Amino acid sequence: MRIPVGESVALVIDIQEKLFPHIQDREQLVLNCQKLIRGLSVLDVPFIVTEQYPKGLGSTIEPIKSIIPGADPLEKISFSCCGDEKFDSSLKNFHRKYIIIAGIEAHVCVLQTVLDLAEQGYQPVVIEDCISSRKLNDKIVAVQRMRQEGAIISTVESILFELCQQAGTETFKQISKMVK
C-alpha cells in the first residue's frame, strides 16, 4: 500500500523551546525535520502544528517554525492532539486519511496522538527519524507500540520519495537535493 500525496497531511507535534534541549539526538532531529518539512512543502502537503502548553514549554523552535508554510500552531493541554476541538476541526477540513507525523516526545504526545488517530480511522505515518524523546528507550518502545497499533513507520528519505513516486521530474530533483 502506497501513501498518496493527495491524501496526506503533515502533523508536527510539540517541538518546543523548553523541551527541545532535553531531547535525544536533537541536532539530527532538527535537521531531519527540516528536510521533511521542506520536502513536504515542495509536494504541497498541508501542515498542522501543535504546541503543548506554550506558556510553560515555549513556542515551536525557530528552525522549525520559520520553514513551515503558514505555521499557526494550535495550542493544547492534553497529551494527544486528538480531542482538541481546533485540532479535530482542522484535521477534518483537510479530508485526508494519511497523517505524516514528526515531533516530540515520542512516548507521550506522539504515541497518544497516533493511538487516537488510528482509533478514529486515520492512517498514522510516523517518521521515525523525525521523532524523539528525552530517553532513547522510551522512543524505541513507543515506536514498537505504534507499529503494533497499526501505524506505518517510515523515514524522511523514504516518505519523500514514496510521495514523489517517480524520478526525472522537477519535484524529484528538488527533493533529491534536499535529502543529500
Q: Which three cell numbers stand for residue 37?
A: 518539512
Residue 173 is among the residues annotated as catalytic for this protein: no
CB atoms closer than 10 angstroms to residue 166: 8
> Of these residues, 33, 81, 109, 130, which one is catalytic?
109
Q: Is 177 a catalytic residue?
A: no
Closest CA to 71 of 10, 30, 6: 10
Cα–Cα distance measured from residue 167 to residue 179, given in angstroms and rounded to the nearest whole number? 14
Q: Which of 14, 116, 130, 164 is catalytic?
A: 14
Q: Where are the beta strands (DSSP E) in 37-145?
A: 47-52, 74-76, 98-104, 123-132
Judge contact between 77 and 53, C-beta under 8 A: yes
14 included as an active-site residue: yes
Q: Among residues 33, 35, 65, 76, which one is catalytic?
A: 76
First-last CA distance in the chain: 26
The enclosing H or E element of 39 equals: helix 26-42
Active site residues: 14, 76, 109
